[in-house]
Amino acid sequence: TKPAMTLAKNANKPIWTDLHDYDGRNPHHQPFIESASVIFLSSDNLPDYRGFMERMIGDGKELVVCTHGSDGATLLSRDGQWVEQPAFQVRQVQDTNGAGDAFFSGFLCGYLRGENLQTCLRLGAACGALCVSSRSLAAENLSLQQLHDHLRDGG
């Protein structure tokens, strides 16, 4: 994806990245960090996630979103907005594979539709909850309507 990042940067397109398994030190992630205007990551391997998020905003990133598994997610924006989103409760976790990607997708869907950041986080959390409730990498019959129903019903 590095050639694609160069093309996007040269075209002045925003780059969103997900730093999979980032621990705060692995040099593999550095080109993605440098190129991105929006960063998603998990706190699983990053104990000082808030410090990292603050450094990234200080370096000019637009948004940094950190997921915390069953503890929800947090977001820090360029204007200093700190937003927390608890995870939606699920009846039974079937498989956590794909939950981070599902979260990213739900958030991005809301963002592209012009939703506020809290709603984007809620859509991400809903999509993640639907994913872990499924035996597949994505919830069966996933749709924007299904996400909004999940939000309305409180999970």
pLDDT of residue 115: 95
How many whole angstroms separate alpha carbon 64 and alpha carbon 109? 16
Domain residue ranges in the chain = 1-86, 88-155
pLDDT at 35 (0 to 100): 94
Q: Give me the helices (H) in the chain, please.
A: 2-10, 30-35, 49-58, 99-112, 117-132, 144-152
Structure tokens, 101: 């990607």
pLDDT per residue as tens, the chain (155 positions): 888 888 998 999 999 999 989 999 999 999 999 999 999 999 999 999 999 999 999 999 999 999 999 999 999 999 999 999 999 888 887 777 778 899 999 999 999 999 999 999 999 999 898 887 777 777 677 778 877 777 777 65
Structure tokens at 38: 């929006």
pLDDT score recorded for residue 92? 85
pTM of the model: 0.89
Cα(138)–Cα(55) distance, integer angstroms: 32
